[in-house]
Amino acid sequence: MRENTKVIKIGNKVIGGGNPIMLQSMTNTRTDDIKSTVDQIKRLEEAGCDIVRCTVPDEKSARAVKEIKKEISIPLVADIHFDYKMAIAAIENGADKIRINPGNIGGREKVKAVVDAARERSIPIRVGVNSGSLEKNLVEKYAGVTAEGIVESAIDKVRIIEDLGYDNIVISIKSSDVLMCIKAHELIDKLVNYPLHVGITEAGTIYSGNIKSSVGLGVILYQGIGDTIRVSLTGDPVEEIKTGKLILKTLGLRKGGIEVVSCPTCGRTRIDLIGLANKVEDIAGKYDHLNIKVAVMGCAVNGPGEAKEADIGIAGGNGEGLLIKKGVIVKKVPEDKLLITLEEELKNWS
């Protein structure tokens, strides 16, 4: 974890300076559809999202920010692409942070207007640069889209804001190329002390996106780089938070919550282990206050031994199953009662 970075306050959250890494996601509703957006953000909050981003493409969306903020508990970041007026409007309507690319919103005076509005309310500016929007001169300089070009572009944008006397900044440099993204973060980590928001952009569907994000974020975070993360998936954004939590837990960067382990199934399996394991994972998401390991095993013969490193486990057989604690069988129940039995144990765990 980067402990020497500038500390930045985003609403009721603090990042940088060795503070815990925050999980971020982005709504895929129309921001001006206030009810749908609030409903989705509340689902994200329940899943463990720390910071949420919403697109603000027009005045109606900017005004919606104020109403959305009344209904949610986590900070809201306004995502701006080209219109500097939308950045100002979002700030005026209570956005906790804005995401811009200073190169896309016009000349110095327009950037200055946004910086002045942010300064007035102490709102952080996230400078976002993606490999897909790299400037032509940098593509020519580096003979293509490269990690060096992405970093140079980001530093140039940061300098614009610094020259305007503002340093309440978070940096985001993203690429859909995992190795390029890793290299870019390794380079920029040596050049700035601003917090970094890390993600593999346009990672893909839940299947391919999870793999690319886990590899990329895993390598970057393992080097101590990154202060907030987003797993970008084509799908329900709640899945982004589930994956992000597991990445952080696997790297030892987040404590608490249930770790589910399950066997890969084999010819001895006589229950729907795949369905059972998925249901256990869903249940586990409700118990972030517990810091335990739960095992789901498909063989009542070897299950107790395989689950001995877990705090609690279940193992199935022919129409029946076992409840196991620390490798010791404590109860035998019908197969259709396994899930209920496990959840009762979790509810009363101490």
| pLDDT confidence of residue 296 | 87
Indicate if the pLDDT at residue 88 is higher than 60: yes
Annotation: CATH topology of 8-250 = TIM Barrel (3.20.20)
Read off the pLDDT band of 301 (50, 70, 90): low
53 or 338, greater pLDDT: 53
**162 or 349: which leads in pLDDT:** 162
| pLDDT at 337 exceeding the cut of 90 | no
Answer whether 342's CB lies under 8 Å from 348's CB.
no
Q: How far is CA 102 from CA 206, 292, 346, in A?
A: 31, 45, 49
Q: Which pLDDT band, with edges at 50, 70 and 90, does 330 fall under?
A: confident
> Residues 2-26: what's their mean pLDDT?
93
Whether the predicted pLDDT of 300 surpasses 80:
no
Is the pLDDT assigned to residue 52 strictly greater than 80?
yes
The residue ranking higher by pLDDT, 112 or 2, is 112
pLDDT at 268: 65
Work out the percent of the chain whose per-residue pLDDT is above 70: 95
pLDDT of residue 284: 83
Asked if pLDDT for residue 198 goes beyond 90, the answer is: yes
Q: What is the pLDDT of residue 107?
A: 84
Query: Domain boundaries in the chain?
Result: 8-250, 259-347
Residues 6+ apart with CB under 8 A from 83: 57, 105
Q: Which residue has the higher pLDDT, 146 or 263?
A: 146
Are 44 and 252 in contact by the 8 Å Cβ rule? The answer is no
- Right CATH for 259-347 from 3.30.413.10, 3.40.250.10, 3.90.700.10, 3.40.50.300: 3.30.413.10
Provide φ and ψ at 338, rounded to 5°: -60, -50
What confidence tens digit (pLDDT) does each residue in 230-249 have? 999 998 999 999 999 999 99
Q: What is the mean pLDDT of residues 291-314?
A: 78
Side by side, the strands of the sheet bearing 259-262 are: 259-262, 293-297, 312-316, 320-325, 328-334
pLDDT (tens digit, 9 = 90+) per residue, 31-47? Answer: 999 999 999 999 999 99
Average pLDDT over residues 145-170: 95
Fill in the DSSP letter of residue 259: E
- pLDDT higher than 60, residue 1: no
Mean pLDDT is lowest, of 31-35, 94-98, 301-305, 326-330, for: 301-305
List the structure tokens of 193. 């002390």
Position 260 confidence tier, pLDDT thresholds 50, 70, 90: confident
Q: Do domains 8-250 and 259-347 have the same CATH topology?
A: no
Per-residue confidence (pLDDT) for residue 289, from 0 to 100: 82
SS (H, E, C) 124-170: CEEEEEEHHHCCHHHHHHCCCCCHHHHHHHHHHHHHHHHHCCCCCEE
pLDDT at 314: 86
